[in-house]
């Protein structure tokens, strides 16, 4: 997929009318990378091209002077195309023209075909297509500026090809004086613009598998499905070029891995049916997801912007990040509450780290799971390293403790917390909703070490001893660490790559409330 426009660059280039070529010593050196590309090297070529165009589209002859004024510094270098796709400005022009009352568009059928989503695509050369859009621009400008005596179309084009023109098309753009504290909002906003552009691309088509029923594709496979996946990953930005090859080669393997990692899939090279299905989610749905998650950014406490240290857990991506001094210093997979025992979405503060913790078993688990086993086997508790204390069952510290070797406590009404786990194999699953509400952290030990960097007394040796699983050891932090438990089904990572994740609690389908009763229970 082509790189998103940097609007800073757009503003700069708009001063030069988005010229993709230079005039050097009166030698024209425009060259376009396209199937319709033509090289223009002299003014004679330009005259021949323009004369041919106005002969084919004779109704536009009366606009010839105005149209050609737009190309004075481009020698017919394109205005409305980015490589072989119509750019955002061309799409904005088309939409504006269609919404203008009583506007008669010359050669409207040909122009409509340029934007058609059907298989009946225009066969126009890129030069003819670009000049037709320039004629549309002239007609539209004459109509919308009819009250002005003198029109300088070349100067007006500079104003048209700028950030504000696009920005007014963004229905999700923030109000002029409004600022969202969580910068993820603006990253998602950029992704939204990117996906809107994809929506207009004739290359973005559903992937139709060659095999029926579908069979998993692995490296070295040969299939027309591979070629379709390759094009899709090129459009999404996971591939730099599209070779059109139907062989599952090394280049595609790297792209598949990149695609899977950013979207929360298990990192391997297998292209299963679920991956094809995800790639085939309509762009309209992707746009809705991006907008919804932009709104969720508004709900994030402003405290996150003011904090130089915090933990953020995102449930749909099953991921934790730890930020210190404004930088991400640790990222870890997590697993979270099952749909019936959801992890609560809220903000809090981590105030204690507990090494070699006891696990007090919730009464619901004792009643529903342990009581019958205790009745069948009098030694059950001892065999499981458990004991009864004041009428409550608790599991003693140790490597097999359900909380692992460390837990992180942040006071909250549902009494959930983060902790280590001995069940490391569960992190190999893509959908990780296994707990009764608590957050299980794969790299819990590494997180504890990172959080204690500012406490000199907590040397690595002391941490290792505290985690030996013999005696519970609780340490109260002098500086509480904010924690944000969030629900983003779409996020942009540190590399600027957007990911889409499973709506595990069905909150996207019902953004105003829960689809199931919240029943977070204290547990692993």
DSSP string, 217-246: B-TT-B-HHHHHHHHHHHHHTS-S------
Name the least confident of 164-178, 222-236, 500-514: 164-178
Torsion, Cα 334 335 339 345, to 10 degrees, reads: -30
SS3 299: helix
Tokens of 508: 């996207």
Q: For residue 365, which of 399, 402, 315, 397 has the smallest C-alpha distance?
A: 402
Residue 30 CA to residue 393 CA, distance in Å, equals: 79
Output the CA angle 197-2-235, nearest 5 degrees. 75
Tokens of 49: 């091209």
Helices (H) and strands (E) counted in the chain, each on its own, are: 19, 18
State the pLDDT confidence band at 1, using cuts at 50, 70 and 90: very low
Tokens of 100: 């203008």
Please report where in the chains the tokens 């002029």 appear, as a residue.
176
State the SS3 of 129-148: HHHHHHHHHHHHHHHHCCCC
pLDDT in tens, 188-229: 999 999 999 898 888 899 999 998 899 999 999 999 999 999
Residue 303 CA to residue 480 CA, distance in Å, equals: 13
Q: Tell whether omega for the bond before 213 is within 30 degrees of 0, i.e. cis.
A: yes
Q: Tell whether omega for the bond before 212 is within 30 degrees of 0, i.e. cis.
A: no
Backbone angles phi, psi at 459, to 5 degrees: -75, 170
Please report where in the chains the tokens 């800073």 appear, as a residue.
8
Name the least confident of 26-30, 145-149, 395-399, 480-484: 26-30
Q: What is the DSSP letter of 30?
A: B
Q: For residue 404, which of 465, 343, 469, 320 has the smallest C-alpha distance?
A: 469
What is the predicted pLDDT for the residue at 153? 79
What is the predicted pLDDT for the residue at 156? 78
Please report where in the chains the tokens 């594709």 appear, as a residue.
217
State the pLDDT confidence band at 78, using cuts at 50, 70 and 90: confident
What is the predicted pLDDT for the residue at 148? 55
Tokens of 229: 């996946």
Name every residue whose Cβ is closer than 8 Å to that of residue 465 and which is 6 or more positions away in sequence: none
CA 521 to mean position of chain CA atoms: 32
Q: For residue 159, which of 178, 176, 175, 145 has the smallest C-alpha distance?
A: 145
Name the least confident of 111-125, 134-148, 507-521: 507-521
Concerning whether 275 is annotated as a catalytic residue, the answer is no
Name the least confident of 67-81, 241-255, 279-293, 349-363: 67-81
- Checking DSSP bridges between strand 473-486 and strand 327-337, what pairing results, if any? unpaired
φ/ψ region of 31 (left if φ > 0, alpha if ψ in -120 to 50, else beta) reads beta
pLDDT in tens, 384-413: 999 999 889 999 999 899 999 999 999 988
SS3 428: helix
Q: Is the C-alpha dihedral spanning 337, 341, 345, 347 positive or negative?
A: negative
Which one is catalytic: 275, 297, 419, 436?
419
pTM over 0.75: no
Please check the confidence at residue 445 and state whether its pLDDT lies above 90: yes
Concerning whether 436 is annotated as a catalytic residue, the answer is no
Tokens of 495: 């590399």
Structural domains in the chain, CATH included, are: 43-160 (no CATH), 204-283 (1.10.101.10), 307-356+403-488 (2.40.440.10), 359-396 (no CATH)
pLDDT in tens, 313-323: 999 999 999 99
What is the predicted pLDDT for the residue at 409? 96
Tokens of 354: 């507990």
Torsion, Cα 100 134 88 102, to 10 degrees, reads: 10
Output the CA angle 102-106-108, nearest 5 degrees. 85
445-461 as b/e: b if 16+ CB within 10 A: bebbbebbeeeeebeee
Mean pLDDT rounded to a whole number for the chain: 83
Which one is catalytic: 275, 297, 436, 438?
438
What is the predicted pLDDT for the residue at 451? 97
Edge-to-edge strands, sheet with 359-360: 359-360, 392-395, 386-389
Q: For residue 84, which of 34, 38, 119, 121 has the smallest C-alpha distance?
A: 34
What is the predicted pLDDT for the residue at 42? 64
What is the predicted pLDDT for the residue at 120? 57
What is the predicted pLDDT for the residue at 163? 44
Residue 364 CA to residue 392 CA, distance in Å, equals: 11
What is the predicted pLDDT for the residue at 70? 86
CA atoms within 13 A on the CB side of 421: 20
Backbone angles phi, psi at 160, to 5 degrees: -70, -40
Residue with the bigger pLDDT between 488 and 144: it is: 488
CB distance 191 to 290 below 8 Å: yes
Residue with the bigger pLDDT between 448 and 114: it is: 448
């Amino acid at each position: 997929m082509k790189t998103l426009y940097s609007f800073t660059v757009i503003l700069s280039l708009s001063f030069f009318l988005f010229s993709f070529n230079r005039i050097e010593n009166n030698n024209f050196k425009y060259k376009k990378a396209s199937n319709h590309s033509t090289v223009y090297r002299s003014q004679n070529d330009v005259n021949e091209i323009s004369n041919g165009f106005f002969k084919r589209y004779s109704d536009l002859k009366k606009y010839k002077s105005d149209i050609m004024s737009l190309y004075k510094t481009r020698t017919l270098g394109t205005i409305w195309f980015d490589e072989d796709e119509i750019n955002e400005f061309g799409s904005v022009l088309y939409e504006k023209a269609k919404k203008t009352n009583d506007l008669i568009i010359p050669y409207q059928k040909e122009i409509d075909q340029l934007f058609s989503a059907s298989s009946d695509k225009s066969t126009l050369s890129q030069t003819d297509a670009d000049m037709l859009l320039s004629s549309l621009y002239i007609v539209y400008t004459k109509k919308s500026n009819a009250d002005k005596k003198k029109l300088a179309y070349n100067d007006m084009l500079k104003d048209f090809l700028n950030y504000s023109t696009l920005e007014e098309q963004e229905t999700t753009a923030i109000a002029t004086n409004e600022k969202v504290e969580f910068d993820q909002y603006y990253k998602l906003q950029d992704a939204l613009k990117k996906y809107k552009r994809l929506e207009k691309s004739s290359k973005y088509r559903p992937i139709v598998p060659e095999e029926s029923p579908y069979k998993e594709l692995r490296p070295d496979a040969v299939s027309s499905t591979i070629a379709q996946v390759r094009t899709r990953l090129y459009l999404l930005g996971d591939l730099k070029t599209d070779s059109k090859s139907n062989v599952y080669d090394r280049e595609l393997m790297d792209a598949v891995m990149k695609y899977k990692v950013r979207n929360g899939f298990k990192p391997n090279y297998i292209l299963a049916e679920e991956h094809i299905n995800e790639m085939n989610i309509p762009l309209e749905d992707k746009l809705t997801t991006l907008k919804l998650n932009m709104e969720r950014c508004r709900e994030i406490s402003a405290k996150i912007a003011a904090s130089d240290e915090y933990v953020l857990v995102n449930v749909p991506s099953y991921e934790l990040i730890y930020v210190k001094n404004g930088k991400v210093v640790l990222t870890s997979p997590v697993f979270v509450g099952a749909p019936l025992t959801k992890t609560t979405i809220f903000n809090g503060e981590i105030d204690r780290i507990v090494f070699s913790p006891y696990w007090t078993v919730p009464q619901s688990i004792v009643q529903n799971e342990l009581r019958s086993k205790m009745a069948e086997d009098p030694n059950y508790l001892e065999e499981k390293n458990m004991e009864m204390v004041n009428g409550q069952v608790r599991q003693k510290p140790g490597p097999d403790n359900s909380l692992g070797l460390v837990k992180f406590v942040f006071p909250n009404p549902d009494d959930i917390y983060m902790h280590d786990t001995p069940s490391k194999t569960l992190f190999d699953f893509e959908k990780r909703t296994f707990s009764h509400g608590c957050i299980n952290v794969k790299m819990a030990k590494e997180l504890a070490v990172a959080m204690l960097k500012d406490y000199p007394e907590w040397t690595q040796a002391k941490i290792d001893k505290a985690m030996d699983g013999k005696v519970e050891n609780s340490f109260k932090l002098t500086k509480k660490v904010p924690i944000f438990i969030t629900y983003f089904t779409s996020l942009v990572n540190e590399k600027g790559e957007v990911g889409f994740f499973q709506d595990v609690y069905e909150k996207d389908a019902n953004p105003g409330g829960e689809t199931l009763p919240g029943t977070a229970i204290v547990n692993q």
